[in-house]
Structure 1
């Protein structure tokens, strides 16, 4: 992570939900859009770095066999573990991007609201690691705020543009609004898995 860890420690010092993930309609709606844009009903192994307090993680956990969540901040990790307690197929780890990237393959990687905290070089490394970590039918979902954030090395449009330029996958979903952009990329040029499974 290119932003110093103290930045996040300060955010969580007096607030367990500094971005109001739990309470804002905007955030709830965005999570629902993220889940609706996933073109498969189920995933085998999902990786979510920068999971924050685990609100999106809880929804991802319903759609996969294995979920690995990570966050840089120890308070966020503790909150996510509380949010996801009792889910044996979920693990939450304290880790720093891109250096602590897991050495395994995923059929879904979720990069939500994280890219602008990284330098251009570190974000390029995340993109490379993502591409090499995906299974043959794997996909990557990225969602970022489109406005500048004080103190961050990049903004959302830069982050999403770097994915478009360097990921080398098929973009099969693109959702743009005034405030955020959401895209889903996959190795196979198909939009939706039509082979539904029973819940």
Structure 2
């Protein structure tokens, strides 16, 4: 990570178990609800969430997935996420340095939440390629990123999302844009939710 190394996150988690106030802020709770409502299918067989942080979104995703793999490169984040998920046997949370480390297999859901903007150019390009390549034939990719400036940002959130929209194998099926954040969903299958259920 270009200038945003492990020590930065170590310091954040040393100061607080919830450095971004994921539970207290209405902004964060509302954003999680929008993320979950944007997923085009009710259930997913196998999902991957890199950069899971302390696991608030992971807990919401777990309710919609048969199996969920989440990871973070901060051991403190992994510890907190594992504690939050408790006895959820269908959830695995690992300490991984994504995108250099990447799990085997193909996923019908990949979620990139508040993650891509910390990476240098080479890491972002690798993350983008691996995210697309890891999608199953009917796979869904969701990305959600803060848009406002902050000191540790190394990438523009809009540009991260624009790259995915240019990929010919993906169709953007949902888009939500606010001054604060950008939320997009792409799929290898272009059918809308209504088309997938056979009434459009």
Question: How does the TM-score come out when normalised to structure 2?
Answer: 0.93
Long gaps (5+) in structure 2: none
Structure 1 residue ranges, 4+ long, deviating more than 6 angstroms after superposition: none
Partner of 1:194: 197
Report how far residue 178 of structure 1 moved. Answer: 1.0
Query: Aligned pairs, how many?
Result: 195
For residues 44-99 of structure 1, the C-alpha deviation after alignment (integer angstroms, 9 at most, x for no partner) is 00100010111011110000100000011111100000000110000100111111
Report how far residue 166 of structure 1 moved. Answer: 4.4
Distance in 2 of aligned mates of 1:93 and 1:140: 20
Distance in 1 of aligned mates of 2:131 and 2:139: 10
Partner of 2:126: 125
Partner of 1:155: 156
For residues 152-182 of structure 1, the C-alpha deviation after alignment (integer angstroms, 9 at most, x for no partner) is 2113222222322347410010000110010
Partner of 1:135: 136
Partner of 1:111: 112
Report how far residue 31 of structure 1 moved. Answer: 0.2
1:62-73 alignment, distance < 5 Å: 62-73=63-74
Q: Secondary structure at the match of 1:143?
A: strand
CA contact (8 A) 1:108 1:140 kept: yes
Question: How does the TM-score come out when normalised to structure 1?
Answer: 0.94
Q: Secondary structure at the match of 2:166?
A: helix
